[in-house]
């Protein structure tokens, strides 16, 4: 087998484990969401079972990820954006994963962010700009100035980032948001 292909296949199991853990899921949680057994998922993550489409497709669906992103496939020259997630906990005080959806600085920046499990201690920050975000999943605790809110899926928030603010998960479960910012710095 082609050494590059062998390396890609060998990296899928650890990548699947990392994705699951980053989202705060147990093997049991993922088994319930995919219909795959805990044993199958465990063997897949440990590399004891080869990944096949009938195993990977339910995982891609459960994680709401494109299959090529799920397995870490190399770019193919197609016109889709190949997103690079970044791990951060500097400003949020929790373990977050930020996926930039736009790459041009100086204009509106768009990010999908997974706010890591466990509420962090609010450490308010302020910077020039404006922020708008939409809660995709979970519950988000938002502090802007002396006001505090808990936002749920479908809720939207917007505020001037010159006002001290902080946001993070409101519960022990990770939360996912889509946010737009007029500042050139990442809000992580």
pLDDT per residue over 84-121, tens digit each?
A: 777 765 444 557 888 888 765 556 788 899 888 655 57
Domain annotation covers residue 36: yes
Task: Specify whether the CB–CB gap between 177 and 140 falls below 8 A.
Answer: yes
pLDDT per residue over 149-173, tens digit each?
A: 999 999 999 999 999 999 989 988 8
- The number of domains in the chain is 2
CA distance linking residue 71 with residue 68, whole number of Å: 5
Domain annotation covers residue 186: no
Locate 63 and state its tokens: 């994680």
Distances (CA, A) of 144 to 35, 125, 141, 172: 41, 10, 10, 21
110 and 153 belong to one structural domain:
yes
Total-model pTM: 0.53
CATH of the domain at 137: 2.60.120.10
Q: What range does the domain containing 31 cover?
A: 3-71
């Amino acid at each position: 087998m082609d050494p590059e292909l062998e390396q890609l296949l060998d990296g899928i199991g650890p990548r699947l484990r990392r994705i699951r853990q980053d989202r705060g899921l147990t093997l049991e949680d993922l088994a319930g969401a995919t219909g795959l057994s805990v044993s199958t998922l465990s063997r897949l993550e440990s590399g004891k079972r080869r990944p096949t489409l009938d195993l990977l497709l339910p995982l891609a669906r459960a994680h709401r990820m494109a299959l090529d992103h799920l397995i870490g496939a190399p770019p193919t020259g197609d016109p889709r954006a190949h997103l690079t997630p970044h791990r951060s906990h500097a400003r949020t005080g929790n373990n977050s994963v930020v996926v930039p959806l736009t790459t041009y600085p100086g204009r509106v920046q768009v990010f999908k962010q997974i706010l890591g499990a466990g509420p962090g201690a609010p450490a308010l920050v302020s910077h020039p700009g404006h922020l708008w975000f939409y809660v995709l999943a979970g519950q988000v605790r938002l502090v802007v100035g002396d006001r505090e809110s808990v936002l749920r899926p479908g809720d939207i928030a917007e505020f001037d980032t010159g006002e001290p603010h902080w946001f993070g998960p409101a519960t022990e479960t990770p939360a996912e948001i889509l946010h737009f910012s007029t500042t050139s710095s990442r809000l992580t």
